[in-house]
Amino acid sequence: MNILEGSLDGRDLKLAIAVSRFNESVTKALLDGALAQLKRMGVSESNVSVAWVPGAFELPGVAARFAKSGKFDAIIVLGAVIRGATPHFDHVSNAVNSGIAHLAREGQIPVIFGVLTTDNTEQAMDRAGLKCGNKGADAASAAVEMVNLYKRMP
């Protein structure tokens, strides 16, 4: 049996992060969690590029450009789409979900989805370092694991 797994060794890896400014108190906490976790895994700060975008809707476009550049081993997108009184929530979350899923499926490098979709700010903050861990840190771990897994795949 051939079991394929990726390690959490981030040494020498180059990572790009696209993070949205909408709901910035949440997304900044996701970014801080991701950067701290990358550091723990041995990723050098000079090997990390961060692009801020206005909102989650803009994440797939920037992630696609990072992917096309050929300069990175993986891309992480971070955002927070919080349900409001308007149908905008569904439009934005559907667009970012399908855009990133397409890139992750079709691209050569891992594209990791760290976008929270929650009913309210409290649920989002809980997932950005309060009660339920930090999904930015989880996304960072997933990125390094997937890069190392892809390297082992035929």
Helix 88-106 to helix 59-69 angle, to the nearest 10 degrees? 20
Is 107 near ligand INI (CB under 6 A)? no
Active-site entry in 88, 91, 102, 152: 88
Is residue 66 at the binding interface for ligand INI, with CB under 6 A as the rule?
no
Torsion angle of the four alpha carbons 110, 114, 117, 122, in this order, in degrees rounded to the nearest 10: 170
Closest CA to 111 of 96, 129, 123, 128: 96
Per-residue tokens: 16: 């790009």
Judged by CB, which is closer to ligand INI: 118, or 134?
118
Interface with ligand INI (CB under 6 A), residue from 16, 57, 72, 114: 57
Name the one range near ligand INI by CB under 6 A: 36-44, 73-81, 101-109, 124-132.
73-81
Residue 82 contacts ligand INI per CB under 6 A: yes
CB 136 within 8 A of CB 40: no
Q: Which is nearer to ligand INI, 81 or 104 (CB)?
A: 81
Rounded-to-integer distance, Cα 148 and Cα 131, Å: 30
Q: Which of 65, 71, 88, 102 binds ligand INI (CB under 6 A)?
A: 88
Q: From its phi and psi, is residue 12 left (phi > 0), alpha (psi between -120 and 50) or beta? A: left
Q: Which residues pair with 79 in a beta bridge?
A: 115
Q: How far is the CB of 26 from ligand INI (least distance, A)?
A: 9
Binding of ligand INI by 56 (CB under 6 A): yes
Binding site for ligand INI (CB under 6 A): 20, 22-23, 54-58, 79-82, 84, 88-89, 92
